[in-house]
Amino acid sequence: GDSVTQMEGPVTLSEEAFLTINCTYTATGYPSLFWYVQYPGEGLQLLLKATKADDKGSNKGFEATYRKETTSFHLEKGSVQVSDSAVYFCALLGQGAQKLVFGQGTRLTINP
Amino acid sequence: DTEVTQTPKHLVMGMTNKKSLKCEQHMGHRAMYWYKQKAKKPPELMFVYSYEKLSINESVPSRFSPECPNSSLLNLHLHALQPEDSALYLCASSQDSGGQSETQYFGPGTRLLVL
């Protein structure tokens, strides 16, 4: 079945550091890929998405590129802020499917 | 506007109580979802309603009873819950147009504590 593997956390960085959170997937066909962010005590917010190979999703300085050849969707940000501290979930949605498949989540802490 | 609202924000209930969680969206979405999220874990799908009909039930115990009164509302009725049912309950919605990219938009969740 479909699956998502995220780099294990927690990840701790200093403000203005470069961020990469790795995400790889296994799926048949052409899934859509998502990054969701969950701030403490809140629900999930869609951060960005990509629906086909080589698409780049971007939002709030975060970017991720759908790489079919490496089955990856790594999240990057050039300069993180304290306010980026949250849990980040990589997820996929198979073609015609309704069930999101989530990675385990990566807890990110940014220190001033 | 991509807002999904959920009430209540917090709920404490005993094992003999009956309570309901409510979810609402006004984006014209025709698919609505209930997820359960335990601490430090990803959300787990419980139910999916598509055009107000139950389309997916992920083998959820019968003490959880979903209801979709109309295309904008989704309820989750709770009865005789166990302490291990304590979790964050998330509602989500999507267009359900049958297209490739059915982005799910989540509400803020209801944090449930069963005593």
Q: How far is A55 from chain B (nearest CA, A)?
A: 13
| Four-CA torsion B35, A101, A104, A21, nearest 10 degrees | -130
pLDDT, average across residues A13-28: 96
Please provide the DSSP assignment of B15-56 as one string: TT-EEEEEEEE-S---EEEEEEE-TTS--EEEEEEETTEEEE
Element (H, E) at B115: none
In B90-105, which positions are buried (b, 16+ CB within 10 angstroms) versus exposed (e)? bbbbbbbeeeebbbbb
Question: Which of the pair, A111 or B1, is modelled with greater confidence?
Answer: A111
pLDDT in tens, A27-37: 988 899 999 99
Given a contact cutoff of 8 angstroms between Cβ atoms, the answer to whether B84 and B6 are in contact is: no
Q: Tokens standing for A65?
A: 């590129």
What per-residue confidence (pLDDT) applies to B2? 67
Chosen from A2, A38, A47, A98 to mutate, greatest number of chain B CBs within 10 A: A98
In chain A, % of residues over pLDDT 70: 100
pLDDT in tens, A64-76: 999 999 999 999 9
Please state, in angstroms and rounded to a whole number, the distance separating the CA atoms of residues A78 and A102: 24
pLDDT, average across residues A8-30: 94
- What is the block-wise mean pLDDT of chain B (115 residues), using blocks of 10 residues? 90 93 94 95 95 92 96 96 96 79 90 96
Q: What are phi and psi of A84, to 5 degrees?
A: -85, -5
pLDDT, average across residues A51-71: 96
Given a contact cutoff of 8 angstroms between Cβ atoms, the answer to whether B42 and A102 are in contact is: yes
- 3-state DSSP of chain A: CCEEEECCCCEEEECCCCEEECEEEECCCCCEEEEEEECCCCCEEEEEEECCCCCEEEECCEEEECECCCCECCEEECCCCHHHCEEEEEEEECCCCCCCEECCCEEEEEEC
Q: How far is B97 from chain A (nearest CA, A)?
A: 10
Of the candidates A45, A42, A39, the one whose C-alpha atom is nearest the C-alpha of residue A86 is: A39
What per-residue confidence (pLDDT) applies to A37? 98
What per-residue confidence (pLDDT) applies to A30? 87
Q: Does B40 sit within 8 Å of A44, measured CB to CB?
A: no
pLDDT, average across residues A50-74: 96
Chosen from A4, A8, A44, A90 to mutate, greatest number of chain B CBs within 10 A: A44
CB of A44 within 8 Å of a chain B CB? The answer is: yes
